[in-house]
Structure formats: structure tokens, C-alpha cells
Amino acid sequence: MIFSIAQQENLPELVSLFQAATRQMDAQGVFQWDELYPDEGILSEDVSRGNMTVGTMEGRIAVAFMLDFCEDSDYESADWHYCERDIAVLHRLCVHPNFQGRGVARQAMNYLENEVRARGIQTVRLDAFSLNPTALHLYESRGYQKAGEISYRKGLFYLYEKKL
């Protein structure tokens, strides 16, 4: 897989990827995303800020994720284990349904953790929908530890962190 920072010309394919993944999650009874989130405006902002990374396989975007380097104010209530000034925050990790079951999410996590380490940052934080067993298993199997809970429009999300 080849990883790169998403460009504006990737936006239509990114929107299609997130829509396909949302339909797939809905079919599995995981009602995490919808037409309001993440929408084209949110994805466009991620791309414009240079925070959206894409992984391509077979000439198509197989995975996308947003990596930020400042903490959301929503995360203040967590019982963080590592109180470092510099952290990375993962949002919107999304694998296209055509590429699921092929280790794509694992490869994306390996890539982003290596990128974070290369920046000299030791801690990654994220939130995961409490009713998305696939995401929960991915993060917990990689050593992410639950540090709290937060409610968003779609329900309860778990806050996780990992010391790299």
C-alpha cells in the first residue's frame, strides 16, 4: 500500500469511500456515520488542512484517516494515563468495503504510528464508537487503553490512548 497526504483532487473518491463504508456499517447494524457526519465539508476541511492521509492499492483509495496534533476539547474529561504536551489524535479511520478483511486497517495503523514516532510524539489518542466491535477490536488488539467515555450525537464513544 502506498500512503500519501490527500489532495483536493482526491475529494470525490474520499466522499465515495466514506459513503460506501457508511452503507456497509449500516448493513451490519453499526449506525455510527450518516449523511451529516462525516460529510463532504468535513472531509474537504481535512484535506485542506493537510491532515487526511490516504492509502492506495490497485489504483484506488483503500483507506483514509485524519491525523491531528492538537487535542479536542471534548477529550478533557478523560482519565488520560499519559499527560504529555505533544500528542497525535486519530479521527475517521475508514477502510473501503472492497478492501476490508485484507489487513488494510492494520497497515494504516502501522503507518500512522510510525509517522507519529518520526515526529517525536509518544502518545496517540482517539475515540471509537462503543457499538462498533470491529473498531474496538482493532484498537484494543494494538494496545490502546480505554481512558474514558464521551457522548456524541450517535451515542457513546470510548476514548483510547496508546504510548508508542
Query: In this predicted structure, what is the pLDDT of residue 82?
Result: 85
pLDDT band at 37 (very low <50, low <70, confident <90, very high): very high
In angstroms, rounded to a whole number, what is the distance separating the alpha carbons of residues 79 and 100? 32
Does the pLDDT at position 103 exceed 90?
yes
Residue range 122-141: average pLDDT? 97
HEC string of the chain equals CEEEECCHHHHHHHHHHHHHHHHHHHHCCCCCCCCCCCCHHHHHHHHHCCCEEEEEECCEEEEEEEEECCCCHHHHHCCCCCCCCCCEEEEEEEECHHHCCCCHHHHHHHHHHHHHHHCCCCEEEEEEECCCHHHHHHHHHCCCEEEEEEEECCEEEEEEEEEC
Residue 151: which domain range? Answer: 2-163
Nearest to 5 by CA among 51, 39, 63: 51
Residue 17 φ then ψ, to 5°: -60, -50
Total-model pTM: 0.93
Does the pLDDT at position 72 exceed 80?
no
Domain count, the chain: 1
Task: Provide the CATH number for the domain around residue 25.
Answer: 3.40.630.30
Does the pLDDT at position 66 exceed 80?
yes
Does the pLDDT at position 71 exceed 80?
no
